[in-house]
């Protein structure tokens, strides 16, 4: 049996309406379209991968990512063209046995998901394969129930028959069958005549970017997936207190003089700030306060410090600018002095106390919104 030629096609016009230029808009610092390009390449399923667009800018992305480019006409990029005719145009001009369409508006489709999708298309000998998302909840259409009875008791949600909603993130067609359906019916996107199957996507793969709110949620998702945030579930612990208000934390630690209004300068002299502040009492001065980083000078007198606490999703570090400090960390005491750097991993309980005979100053590097979690009795 001859091996089938399987081609991936990523449609990405520049003139999108609801989100202007969405396919080249950066999602977590990477063009949206590049997410599915990378996944398609990593899947190693395809003889060829095409980026299908009218834009020279997207042609450049295709070249930079070492995939092929199909230059569609301006007409084929217009709102007048249906999905049926758009795919037909490509199939008439690119040789293949199976075409797999991957939409760039579903950036979290993984290479494994693509592999499974293509395997289903080939192994089940399908003519058309449609990706769907199972909606396991009571659904209605035109004010009529689809998968439940309005005159019966509502069953547990896990017993409700799922309704399959088109995801369209992944679509696959046998080329000959698609073109036959176009000749017969003028339509082929949904399968027409032939053996039609569905493939259920779940999790992040079902995220589809259709409007600005979708893009904002995708941005949060992309940052989360690329971060090292602890994915272990966290639960409320009896007696623990949570506080992410940095000013309130400082005040309750006894630091009453806090300058939080003059930060994010390109260059700042920590030594000058220290020299211009009192040496006989506590104070703080915020140097940096951005979405990713917060750096604060904190001065305290011997015996002063903070309360025992920990951070569940943040590693914290400090540079000792002046004097001596004691770090109580998980039952151990670390003694540090000017010039030392202290690093404490997330989830480690710690308490900081100024030591020595004079004022001590530390530069605390954290993040504005990090939760301080105080055990019971703190």
Dist CA 71 CA 60 (whole Å): 12
Q: Are 107 and 218 in contact (CB under 8 A)?
A: yes
290 burial level (CB within 10 Å; 0-12, 13-18, 19+): exposed
- What is the reported pLDDT for 77? 85
Please determine, for residue 332, whether its predicted confidence score (pLDDT) is greater than 80. Answer: yes
- What is the reported pLDDT for 2? 62
| pLDDT tens-digit series, residues 77-89 | 888 888 899 899 9
21 confidence band (pLDDT: 50, 70, 90)? very high
CATH superfamily ID and name for 241-374? Jelly Rolls (2.60.120.10)
- What is the reported pLDDT for 230? 56
Q: Are 16 and 10 in contact (CB under 8 A)?
A: no
Q: What is the mean pLDDT of residues 297-319?
A: 95
Q: Are 129 and 45 in contact (CB under 8 A)?
A: no
208 confidence band (pLDDT: 50, 70, 90)? very high
Please, which residues have CB within 8 angstroms of residue 93's CB and are 6 or more apart in sequence? Answer: 70
Q: What is the mean pLDDT of residues 93-113?
A: 97
Q: What is the mean pLDDT of residues 48-70?
A: 96
Rounded percentage of the chain residues whose pLDDT exceeds 70:
98
Q: What is the mean pLDDT of residues 278-294?
A: 95
Please determine, for residue 220, whether its predicted confidence score (pLDDT) is greater than 60. Answer: yes
- What is the reported pLDDT for 116? 97
CATH architecture for residues 6-226: Alpha-Beta Complex (3.90)
Q: What is the mean pLDDT of residues 87-115?
A: 97
Identical fold for domains 6-226 and 241-374, yes or no, is no
- What is the reported pLDDT for 119? 97
Q: In 3-state terms, what secondary structure has residue 60?
A: helix
Among the ranges given (46-55, 230-239, 257-266), the one the predictor scored with the smallest mean pLDDT:
230-239
| pLDDT tens-digit series, residues 227-258 | 766 567 778 888 899 999 999 999 999 999 99
- What is the reported pLDDT for 231? 63
What's the mean pLDDT when you consider all of the chain? Answer: 93
Please determine, for residue 277, whether its predicted confidence score (pLDDT) is greater than 60. Answer: yes
297 confidence band (pLDDT: 50, 70, 90)? very high
Please determine, for residue 170, whether its predicted confidence score (pLDDT) is greater than 80. Answer: yes
Domains of the chain, by residue range, sit at 6-226, 241-374
Beta bridge partners of 360: 300
Kindly report the number of other CB atoms within 10 A of residue 279's CB atom.
Answer: 13
């Amino acid at each position: 049996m001859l091996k089938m030629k399987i081609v991936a096609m990523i449609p990405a016009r520049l003139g999108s309406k609801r989100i202007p230029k969405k396919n080249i808009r950066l999602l977590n610092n990477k063009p949206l379209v590049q997410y599915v390009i990378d996944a398609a390449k990593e899947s190693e399923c395809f003889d060829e991968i095409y980026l299908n667009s009218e834009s020279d800018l997207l042609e450049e992305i295709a070249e930079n990512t070492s995939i092929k480019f199909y230059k569609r006409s301006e007409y084929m990029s217009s709102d007048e063209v249906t999905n049926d005719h758009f795919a037909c145009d490509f199939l008439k001009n690119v040789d293949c046995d199976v075409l797999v369409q991957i939409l760039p508006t579903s950036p979290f489709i993984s290479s494994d998901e693509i592999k499974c999708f293509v395997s289903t298309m080939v192994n089940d000998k399908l003519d058309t394969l449609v990706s769907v998302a199972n909606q396991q909840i009571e659904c209605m259409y035109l004010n009529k129930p689809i998968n439940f009875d309005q005159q019966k008791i509502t069953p547990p949600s896990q017993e409700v028959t799922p309704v399959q909603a088109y995801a369209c993130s992944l679509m696959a067609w046998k080329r000959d069958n698609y073109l036959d359906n176009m000749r017969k019916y003028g339509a082929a996107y949904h399968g027409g005549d032939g053996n039609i199957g569905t493939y259920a996507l779940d999790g992040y793969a079902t995220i589809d970017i259709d409007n600005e709110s979708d893009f904002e949620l995708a941005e949060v998702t992309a940052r989360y997936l690329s971060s090292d945030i602890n994915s272990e579930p966290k639960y409320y612990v009896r007696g623990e207190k949570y506080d992410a208000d940095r000013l309130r934390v400082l005040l309750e630690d006894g630091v009453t003089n806090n300058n939080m209004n003059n930060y994010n300068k390109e260059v700042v002299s920590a030594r000058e700030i220290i020299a211009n502040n009192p040496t006989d009492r506590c104070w703080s001065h915020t140097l940096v306060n951005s979405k990713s980083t917060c750096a604060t000078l904190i001065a305290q007198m011997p015996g002063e410090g903070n309360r025992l606490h920990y951070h569940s999703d943040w590693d914290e570090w400090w540079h000792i600018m002046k004097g001596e400090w004691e770090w109580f960390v998980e039952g151990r005491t670390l003694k540090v002095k000017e010039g030392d750097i202290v690093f404490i991993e997330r989830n480690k309980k710690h308490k900081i106390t100024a030591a020595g005979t004079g004022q001590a100053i530390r530069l605390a590097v954290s993040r504005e919104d990090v939760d301080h979690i105080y055990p019971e009795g703190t």
